A = this chain, B = another copy of it.
Amino acid sequence: MCRFIAYIGKPIFADELLLKPKNSLMKQSYHALESEMTVNGDGFGIGWYNHFRRKEPALFRSIRPAWNDENLSYNASMIKTNCLLAHIRAATQGGVSIQNSHPFQYKEFLMMQNGGIKEFNRIKRKLINRLDDDTFEWIQGQTDTQYIFALFLTLTGELKKEKGSLTFDDLSNCLSETFAEIEEMKKEEKMDSPSLYNLVLTNGKVLIATRYSTRPEIETRSLHIASNTECYTSEDGFLVCKPLKGNEDSVLISSEILTENRESWKEVPENHVIMVEEDLSVKMKPLK
């Protein structure tokens, strides 16, 4: 099981989120409080945007534990970004390699996941045959997340051909459709093991996050959101996300509550999708 955070909003330096807080993701690589597995030491990755430079994000991924990678410590404080995804990994599907490290990038999109499709191999070929050539060739690793991402890209590609351009709702619908198609494939194979789609998708401007277990009575993953807030590291080392009135500065989504002031956070209900608009307004709705 992995851990992740996603930030979108007012430009922020990456170390404010990743390193400085006492309860930062980097420290979570040692201890994940709401998780059963205590170590996420099988690599990490961050992806971030700088739209002044280009629409595609930058990526920095490593197969070493986040807590012992000098490059992360050295550079996080030099990265200023309005949108950052960070992921620490405890390997399940696919070996430990850069190619299997989240987030994954395709053109302007980033995706990362905490969870997975149990017994994924039983539908892998079916899924491969459903992909368009481009997205199939894009896959460079062995995680189920890359295949989920590839199917999403295939579906958006098809819809784009049809409609010319896509709205935010279209993206969100394609994501739901991705889950639906995969569950249909599982059904054809008579698989009733749970799928856990706790994932984040962004193009650096809008962001979608899902908390979705197909069998929540068996297994679920936590997901939290702090919105309408301003985030900074306090003098005593805690990440503080202060609720703001009147304006909305950022949205922070995380597998675990990151800040001391727990009242800033809402738990995302099971089987819901969160959509963060360019103006940072947040919509939450049930996933069908």
The segment from A70-78, A172-180, A221-229 found at the interface with B is A70-78
Interface size on A, residues (CB 8 A): 46
A141 CB contacts on chain B under 8 angstroms: 142
Determine whether the beta carbon of A74 is less than 8 Å from that of B98. no
* Residue of B with least CB distance to A48: B78
Determine whether the beta carbon of B65 is less than 8 Å from that of A41. yes
| In the assembled complex, A61 has its CB within 8 A of some CB on chain B | yes
Binding site for B on A (CB under 8 A): 13, 30-31, 38-39, 41-42, 48, 50, 53-54, 58-65, 67-68, 70-71, 74-75, 77-78, 80, 91, 94-99, 121, 124-125, 128-129, 133, 136-137, 140-142
* Residue of B with least CB distance to A37: B30
Determine whether the beta carbon of A77 is less than 8 Å from that of B54. yes
A20: min CB distance to chain B, Å: 13
A118: min CB distance to chain B, Å: 14
A142 CB contacts on chain B under 8 angstroms: 99, 140-141
Determine whether the beta carbon of A74 is less than 8 Å from that of B97. no
Determine whether the beta carbon of A41 is less than 8 Å from that of B38. no
A124 CB contacts on chain B under 8 angstroms: 136-137
A58 CB contacts on chain B under 8 angstroms: 74-75, 77-78
